[in-house]
Amino acid sequence: MSGLRLDLGPAREPLGLVRGLQWFFSIFAFGTCGGYSGTVSFWVSCWGQPNTTVSAPVAYPFRLNYATFTPSLANMCNKTWEADVHLVGDFSSAAQFFVTVAVLAFLYSMAALAIYLGYFHLYRGAGGKLPLADFLATVSFSFLWLVSSSAWAKALADVKASTAAPLPSCDRPAVACFPAGVTPMGSLNVSVIFGFLNLVLWLGGSWFVYKETNFHRPAPPSGPAPPAAM
């Protein structure tokens, strides 16, 4: 019979339990990275004038070279800056790659859980094709988590360096610039941790999926040898 057969048994086995953990932690991976929004601020003091606070947004997908300080520095300190000042660097490729892998992993693990809980009889009765496809997908996601988490960890270090850089053209005593703070990036640090945690989960999960394939199952016992001809 090929219809739906709801069975919570796989959820209590390592195969289903690890899939559930993968689904859960992938949410935190893309949520902590894609949901970040903050600012970097400076106090700017022109000769004989009170301090002015200027700020630039720092948010996903971290195209910092498009982030402009406001109010415009081009209108301050006797045109010390000839144009608007931007932050430095475009880290969107690494951030978007990381979030894309996390979202795809979330969707795949949710679909796999649905198959385990509703169609496990078909999963194990498909001649090994579904477990093999599941195994190849799990190994592929393990590789994607490794690459995306490493790339995002490097990009995050560059984001921190960019937001910690001083403002250009701050030449005392005519112009003085003082850092006023950067929105804490603790959630971004956590996103990197969740990325590598997902890597461990998908690597570990690949073993449990491998055990469902024909490569791990023992060969069926051979029948008795035919009697020798007289």
Q: Model-level pTM?
A: 0.85
- Report d(CA 29, CA 191) in Å as an integer: 5
pLDDT digits (tens, 9 = 90+) for 110-157: 999 999 998 888 887 767 788 899 999 999 999 999 999 999 999 999
Q: Which of 58, 87, 48, 55 is nearest to 71 (CA)?
A: 55
Return d(Cα 116, Cα 152) in angstroms, integer: 32
Q: Using CA of residue 141, residue 142, residue 147, residue 151, what is the dihedral sign?
A: positive
**Percent of the chain, pLDDT > 90?**
57
CB 76 within 8 A of CB 95: no
Give the pLDDT band (50/70/90) at residue 206. very high
Nearest to 191 by CA among 18, 19, 34, 22: 34
DSSP bridge pairs for 19:
none
Is residue 7 within 8 A of residue 22, CB to CB? The reply is no
In a 13 Å sphere around the CA of 138, the CA atoms on its Cβ side amount to 29
What digits encode the pLDDT tens for the residues 10-29?
777 888 899 999 999 999 99
**What pLDDT score was predicted for residue 173?**
74
